[in-house]
Every structure is written in structure tokens, then in C-alpha cells.
Amino acid sequence: MTPPADDAAPGPVGPGPVGPGPVGPGPVGHGRMLRKEDARFVRGLGRFVDDIRLPGMLHGAVLRSPYAHARIVSVDVSAAESHPLVRAVITGELLAERGLAWMPTLSHDVAAVLATDKVRYQGQEVAFVVAENRYAARDALCLIDVEYEPLEPVIDARRALDGDAPLVRDELQRDNRVFDWESGDAAATEAAFAAAAHVSACDLLYPRVHPSPLETCGIVASVDRVSGRLTVHATTQAPHAHRALYSTIAGIPEHRIRIIAPDIGGGFGNKVGMYPGYLCAVVGSILTGAPVKWTEDRSENLMSTSFARDYHMRGEIASTSDGRILALRVRVLADHGAFNGTAQPSKFPAGFFHIFTGSYAVPAAHCHVTGVYTNKAPGGVAYACSFRVTEASYLVERLVDVLAHDLGRDPAALRMQNLLRPEDFPYRCATGWEYDSGDYPRTLALALEMAGYDELRREQAAVRAADTGSRMGIGISFFTEAVGAGPRATMDIAGFGMADAAELRIHPTGSAMLAVSCMSQGQGHETTFAQMVAEELGIPPDLVDVVQGDTDRTPFGLGTYGSRSTPVAGAATVVAARRVRERARTVAAAMLEVAPGDLEWEKGRFGVRGVPGVGATIAEIALAAHSDLELPEGVEGQLDATCVYNPPNLTFPCGAYVCVVDVDTGTGQVVVRRFVAVDDCGVRINPTIVEGQVHGGLADGIGMALMELIAFDRCGNHLGASFMDYLLPTAMECPSWELGETVTPSPHHPIGAKGIGECATVGSPAAVVNAVLDAIGVRHADMPLTPAQVWRALQGTPMRNDLAVL
Amino acid sequence: MEVTLTVNGREHTREIEPRLLLVHLLRDELGLTGTHWGCDTSNCGACVVWMDEVPVKSCTVLAAMAGGRRVRTVEGLERPSGLDPVQTSFMICHGLQCGFCTPAMLMTARWLLDHVPDPSDAEIRDAVSGLTCRCTGYENIVRSIRHAAATERGAS
């Protein structure tokens, strides 16, 4: 399909506001182009897991615990088994007989697949029914009789370590502590605080939220009774890691497992982990000999798979009297739920939280994180958080605003005073991260200029003076992200080093197939990765077919989360393409009967230096490489190449955000009037896709800052178990985003790109919160700043949001 | 019970349970998987289809209630002459990412433009306010619908 010629002008490039113009026809390489995947989606021809229907397929449903904490006395499935459409009922006891009642988590713990001894959170999986249709499977759940003996639950994380607290994991240990972990220099930080002229402190809660991709989690598991081969269609962001996990857990040799991730309807971290429903579907298929589909409903999704955040933080910031930051100190209580199932590099129990010094030159810093078990769902790293950079960024950006509040300083000027300078890079922060590149003052200056910051402050003063019952607030955040894990030596998931791979095949007629180990959930890999190859080889992206999400057809790698596709699999792609190019050089030299060194690469062809017009295109070289052309000694035919990319460091994108809100002081209602976002993610492969990623993350910021919350009552009842209670932003809450960009390439990435997928989710919540609190003149109140919370904060009594009981 | 309904111009008769939801009839019985199932509570809107020319959330419509009615799904949007302008505009303006909300957005956009050929941004946002998108932050959805409106006005 050819896009219309009108409206096709690409937006402006380079630093400055980003143009909103529709995209044009595809460039040969980087640039704005239509997404290749959209042709099927706009026709309703996407193929999501729940769209898959295999011959003889059965349907699974999960029986879940109504209690947050209860001992299981008995499970009687006889009535369910006698339902005429039921083909199998799986209990914890049945799984225990097969050694499958518990599975390893991604964080050195185990989690129940189906509960055997007791249930540890409301919504936990207790039994699994396989029936001939999805309605019958649900019906049969009602026929299972479970006798529970209710136990007192641990709901308030701050009480979890009390001596008289009930034990969540009494089968393992005598308290509810998961880990204690610290980073930074405690003594140096203590000394800096002792000597500082000013100290501000603040207690902050980053509440439990949920990534809530529009498509819930699901699987179709199919075990071939003859070959023993397991084929899994599943919503997975990490197909290869899942294959290894299925093999380890279920004891099926890895070569007999094929994981296929078809189209995925959003992930945001929700689809990294391994969930009980998946394993039950596999067991169900083994038991029945038929394919078994299991698709979560929304309540199941919100109650049981992958919450995010739940960090109780006490932050302290020390400064000189004129606002120069001297030290940061943080104490965190991390609510990990009933099993430590965080999906993150396993050597980092608090993820990358220790990047909490953010974007500032902070000489001393220390954090201490204590993880605790509670009677809540496991998870903890999800929702585009870049392994807890979200919590870290929110913490420091709130603390800087608190410092500005306490010192009577303008928050923009205070940030500008403390930001890292361009000459500081590469910068090693107080907790050891080495930031690769950035020009922070320029990025912030551009955001302030686009927002018209000084004029906004004048308007704010006028609104306040008019005293009309409406208040205007301006909030700023400046974030530094850390994305693109590994290196593999220091970062692993379940023992697998965080590298990714690409295999690039060049067909005889010059088109190509790229197979990558990462997996799109909407990020547009089919387009972006084709553009990367196109840029390196000078062939149109339409000639590059991108294969992903099928373990039989793609090389091993860790997958797509933590904004790591472009930094890692993207780098692998570029290196593989450059290897193709070098192979093409030797073949071209043979074709043209010149020395390889006499050839010059011009995008798409090798020309003979000094002989205009003599050369060969990639397509001509590809044909020759597959032909009977005699090649020099040692030169293999064909051009294919592979790369396993082990990143030397993370990439560190950054951004400056300015949010403008209006608050109705009578109702507490917040309206986000404007949102200016300047992002620096290095070189942009497809600017349109980058902007789309930013847009989505900005909406997340509004959601988390103003609406989204998973709270619990005293009994552990989940109070956000449907979209009626768990509120997501709609088009009505979101303003028209105003985007800008600066570009400081990553010095270590082959094309200077950095990850962008989670930047706006990381950076935006603080800007919104800072704006609301700026409007109402309150030093701190916790998210979400619902009308009730804002109104209460205005009365001087902010609520505690994570519990229904105050 | 037996139900007969017209979907995208074709009549279908099925023996169904009275409790069967329209979204499941469309997806599981008729194989029209472009209509998605996202929340069960009419909040996310991923299941929007037309019933007698009016957008409905098919997760909260019984299939039996669609008996004798005309249902139109995303699969019925493309015309013999090519894609509907809303489909083209969503592609041009990057109005979709994961594609899961897209069919419902397209059906809603088509309905809006049939009734309001030159909608303001506020009218567009209001029209899609019953639908959730987790990827786009809505910006490019609004642009897409605006672009489709401009295209159609230019063509007429």
C-alpha cells in the first residue's frame, strides 16, 4: 500500500520540538516510515493467543482462593470431575505427585503452581479445570469444594517484620523478611549528612499498580502424544527464557519444546514471568492429549499476575544552604507479596533502584532496601519500570521538589544548578553506575523553553491572586534511565546471561530475513529492525522480513523488557548486518577482480575506489555469492551472518518533562492542561515509533499519578480487581502531548541508540505529582492524587492510599 | 436456543446457550477474531462492534440479543474499493501499536465520522472515551481520526 503523498513530510529533525506530521513512505534505513505490522491489525487480522484455535482444543479455568491467607483443609473435585463436559481437574496434590506443585521464580525463590498447604493471597491458584468449552470450565469451578481454615493475613508491609506478625512462608522461614540489600557508601553518606547545612526528608509511597496490557495473559499448550513435543503459543515477552523454564520445571527436554509468541497485545512487563496458569495448561494437555487454552480474564490479570512497585520509601537529601545537593540517603521497605517472583536481573534484589541519585552530581549516596513477604500477589517488576528505575526516579524527583519547597527555591533553577554537566560524562555515580552520555542542561533548557516556563509562573501567580477556586500548578521532572541489560557477566535472568542475538540471511536475489531473539508487544520491531538492516545494507526495509517470537526460528536471547530490544538485539542486528557487509566485500572483490581494500562502501553497493561507475550492489553481490563464481581461498559462499551481542554497559537515556495542571480546590479534581516532554534516547531509528512510545508512557504517568491503585482491605481483599475499580487513563484525561528531542548518541552502542520504551513511564509520574502539589502548595501527598486525595491533602490530612483502612 | 443474525452482510444461524456473549459468538463460533475481549465490565471497549449501526460493547451483549440484528465488525470495514479511510489513517498517523484496541477504535471512529464529518479534537476524544488504549497515549488516535475526516472531506 502506498501512503498518500500529501501529509507525507517528515517532522523536523535535530534538537527542538518534534513535528506532528503523519509519516511518509519508507526511507532506505533510519527515518519515518509506515509500520509493516499495521496492515494486518487495521483489518482485524492480528493473531493474538486467544485467537488461536487448534483442532480438538480444550479450555482451562483456574479456581482461585477467596482468602488472602488460609490453610487448605481439603479439596474435593469429584463433582467437578463428573460434569459432562469436564475432561480433567488438576489440584495441587496431583501436581505434587509429579513434582510440579512448586516452581522456581526468577528471583531465587519458589512459588506455588497450585496451592497444597495453604493459600497466601486472594486470587491464588488452587485448582485447574479442563473442559470442552470456556463456559463449562467456569461452571465446573463452582463444583469444586475447598475447605479453608482462615489465617490472619499480613497486609500492611510496615507490620510484616513485627515480632507477632503472621508468617507468610512458614514452610521456609521464621519471619517475613525476603532480603536486606544496600548500595553506596554508608559512612561517607553519614558524614556528608552530618556536615550539611540543610537536610530535607520525606516519606513516600509508590503504590502497588498493575501494567494491565489490554490483552491479558494466555496460552495454548499442545503436547504431541507420539513425539512428546510441546508446542506453546503464549503471551511471552521472553520466548527463549520461557522454553528453558518449561524444560527445567516440567522435565521436558528443551529440544522438544517450541514456544511461539504470536502478536502480543501489550506487555509492559506483565508477560515476562511464568504463571501457574501456563503450567496447568501444559499439564492439562499432557493429561488429556489435546491442546489446552487458558486465557485470563481481567480480574485474574489484576489480582494475580505481576503487580508493580509497592515501595515504601524514606528519602533524605542533604544540601548546602544555597541548594547544592551533597548527599542522598534512602530506606526502602519493598512489599514483594507472597512469593519473591520479581522478574529482574537476579543479582539485583532491588532491581536498578540504586540509580536513585538520578540526573544530579551527588557526591555521596546510600540506600538500604528490605524486601518483605505479605499476603498479596507476587510480582514486583513490571509496568515499564526498567527494573525499579521508576521508583528511583520518582523518589529523587520528589525529593528535589521537597528540597526546593523547603529552601524556597524554584524547582527548575534548583535542578539546573545540580544537573550533571556534559563534561562529566562518562559519569560514575555514587552507587557505581557509569552513565554513558547526555547533555542534561540542554535537555532541560529546551523543555522549559517549549513550555514557556517563565510565562507559566507569571500566569500561576495571577491565578493564585485571583483566588477563583482553581489553582494552577507546574511540575518538572528530569530523569535518567538505565536500560539495555546486561552485560551478561553481571546481569542474568534465572541464570541466563542478558545477551541477545540476531541471524541475518541474505537471499540470492538480495532480499533478507532477520531472526531476532527479542519479541515485540507493540513496539514495532518488524519495522524498526528491518530499518536497521536497511540502513546498514542499503536495501529497502520492505525487502527485510523480521522473524521473532518463535524459538524454532530465532536464536536464543533474553527477550523484550527493560527497554532492551534496541540496545541489545538491535545492536546484534547491526553487528550482524556489518558482518554481512564485510562478507559482501570479499565476494565483490572477486566479482570485480580487485583487492577488497580497493572497494568503498556506498550505501547499498561497493564501488571501486577511483573508478566511478564500477561496482556491485548488495543484490548483485548476493546473487554472485550464491552462484558458481569462483571465490578466493577461504571465502565461504553466501552472505549470512549472526551475532550474539553482549552489551558492554547499559544505555542511559534521559529526559526533561514539564506538566501543567489545573486543580479545582472545591472538588480536588485535577486536569492536566499541558505536558511537554523532551527525550534524549540517542539516535532515533524511526522517530515516529519513538514518539509513539513516549506518548504511551506519558499516559502511564497520568494514570499512576492520578488514578491507578491496587489497594487492600484489612482482610486482604483486593480492591482493584476490575477496570471499574482499577482506573486507567482514557483520552479524556490525557492532553495533547508536546514532544521535543535532544540527541546525544550512546558512545558504546553500534549506532548510538538508547532504549526508549519505558522512559516516559519512568519520568512522567513525578512531573504530574510535582505539578499537583505545586498547585495546592502541599509539600507531599502520595499517589494516586485522586480528587479525594487532593481534597484531603488540601485539608492538611493526606490519606494513606495503599490500604482501605487508615 | 437458535439465533440468526447478520454479520458483515452475511446471515448466520447458530444453536447457542442463552448466556453466550456476543463477543464469544463472534470470536469462537464465527471465527471473527478481530473483535477482542479485554475486561468483561464494559470499561476497556476492546469488544466494540456495531449492532444495527450503533456501537455496542459485545462483552456485555448476549448473542441472543443480536438475533435478527445486523452486526458489523472490523472485518466488515474494508470495502471492495480498498481500506476504509479510518483504516488507512490509523496506519499513516501511527494510531496503533500493539493493535489490540485498534478494531474497536476503528469501529468507533467510523461511527463518529458517519455522524460528525468534521469533528473537533474534543469531539474525537469524547467519542473514544469509552475505549482504553495502553500504548498510544491517544495522541495519534486523535490525529488518525482527524486525518481520516480530512481525507473524506477532501474526497467528497
Burial class (CB in 10 A: 0-12, 13-18, 19+), A171: exposed
- pLDDT at residue A7 is higher than 50: no
Q: Which residue has the cell 488438576?
A: A90
Are the CB atoms for A161 and A173 separated by under 8 Å? no
Cell numbers 537476579 correspond to A346
Contact A728 B132 (CB under 8 A): yes
Q: Which residues pair with A32 in a beta bridge?
A: none
Distances (CA, A) of A393 to A318, A382, A766: 17, 15, 8
Q: According to DSSP H, which parts of A60-185 are helical?
A: 78-81, 92-97, 134-141
Q: Inspect the interface and report whether the beta carbons of A730 and B132 lie closer than 8 Å.
A: yes
* Chain B residues with CB-CB distance to A35 below 8 A: 91, 94
What's the rounded Cα separation, in Å, for the pair A269 and A138?
A: 27
Q: Indicate the pLDDT class of residue A4, thresholds 50, 70 and 90.
A: very low
State which amino acid sits at residue A601.
W
B24 contacts chain A (CB < 8 A): yes
Please state which of the ranges A159-163, A382-386, A602-606, B37-41 shows the lowest mean pLDDT.
A382-386
Question: What 3-state class would DSSP assign to B117?
Answer: coil
For residue A26, the model assigns a pLDDT of 67
**pLDDT at residue A588 in the model:** 97
What's the pLDDT tens digit per position in A481-517? 999 999 999 999 999 999 999 999 999 999 999 999 9
Separation in Å, CA A424 to CA A480, A788, B36: 14, 44, 50
Cite the beta strand spans of A175-324 per DSSP E.
177-184, 198-209, 218-223, 230-234, 257-260, 292-295, 307-319
* Spatial separation of the C-alpha atoms in residues A154 and A806, rounded to whole Å: 16
Which one of A688, A730, A768 would you mutate to disrupt binding with B, by most B Cβ within 10 Å of its Cβ? A730
Instruction: Count Cα neighbours of A114 within 13 Å in the Cβ-side half-sphere.
Output: 28
* DSSP letter string, A478-520: EEE--BS---TTT-EETTEES-EEEEEEE-TTS-EEEEES---
Helix or strand (DSSP H, E) at A395 = helix A389-407
pLDDT band at residue A296 using 50, 70 and 90 as cut-offs:
very high
Q: Does A563 touch chain B (CB under 8 A)?
A: no
B48 to chain A, any CB pair closer than 8 A? The answer is no
Residue A255 has a pLDDT of 97
pLDDT value for A658: 98
User: What 3-state class would DSSP assign to A188?
Assistant: helix
Q: Quick one: pLDDT at residue A339?
A: 97
Closest Cβ–Cβ partner in B40, B90, B106 for A297: B40
Contacts of B101 in chain A (CB under 8 A): 214
Per-residue pLDDT of chain B (156 residues; tens, 9 = 90+): 999 999 999 999 999 999 999 999 999 999 999 999 999 999 999 999 999 999 999 999 999 999 999 999 999 999 999 999 999 999 999 999 999 999 999 999 999 999 999 999 999 999 999 999 999 999 999 999 999 999 999 986
Which position has the higher pLDDT, A19 or A567? A567
Residue A181: pLDDT over 80: yes
Mean of the per-residue pLDDT values for chain A? 95
Domain with CATH 3.30.365.10 in chain A: 307-485+649-794, 499-645
The string of pLDDT tens digits covering residues A716-745 is 999 999 999 999 999 999 999 999 999 999
Domain ranges in chain A with CATH number 3.90.1170.50: 49-151+216-264+271-304
User: A49-151+216-264+271-304 belongs to which homologous superfamily?
Assistant: Aldehyde oxidase/xanthine dehydrogenase, a/b hammerhead (3.90.1170.50)
Dmax over CA atoms of chain A, in Å, equals 87
pLDDT at position A17 = 53
Q: Residue B48 has which C-alpha cell?
A: 466494540
- pLDDT at A43 exceeding the cut of 80: yes
User: Which CATH class name applies to B85-155?
Assistant: mainly alpha
Q: Which amino acid, residue B61?
A: V
Cβ-defined contact of A44 to B38 (cutoff 8 Å): no
Residue type, A259: I
- Show residues of chain B in contact with A134, CB under 8 Å: 24, 28
CATH architecture of A307-485+649-794: 2-Layer Sandwich (3.30)
Shortest CA gap B155–chain A (Å): 13
A452, burial (CB in 10 Å: exposed 0-12, middle 13-18, buried 19+): middle
The predicted pLDDT at position A789 comes to 96
Domain positions in chain B = 2-76, 85-155
Strand partners, A206: A311
Compare CB distances from B136 to A213, A298, A696 and report the shortest one's residue: A696
**Assigned superfamily of B2-76:** Beta-grasp domain (3.10.20.30)
The CA distance from B73 to the nearest CA of chain A, in Å, is: 9
Q: What is the pLDDT of residues A673-712, one digit of tens each?
A: 999 999 999 999 999 999 999 999 999 999 999 999 999 9
Q: Judge whether residue A666 has pLDDT over 70.
A: yes
Query: Among residues of chain A, what percentage have pLDDT more than 90?
Result: 94
CB A484 within 8 A of CB A651: yes
C-alpha cell at A185: 557508601
What CATH number does domain A499-645 carry, 3.30.365.10, 3.40.50.620, 1.10.3470.10, 3.40.50.2300?
Answer: 3.30.365.10
State residue A616's pLDDT score: 98
Tens-digit pLDDT profile for residues A762-805: 999 999 999 999 999 999 999 999 999 999 999 999 988 888 75
**What contacts A460, CB < 8 A, 6 or more positions away?**
A472, A473, A474
* A7 and A19 Cβ atoms separated by less than 8 Å: no
Cβ contact, residue pair B92, A3, below 8 Å: yes
- Residue B70: other Cβ atoms inside 10 A: 16
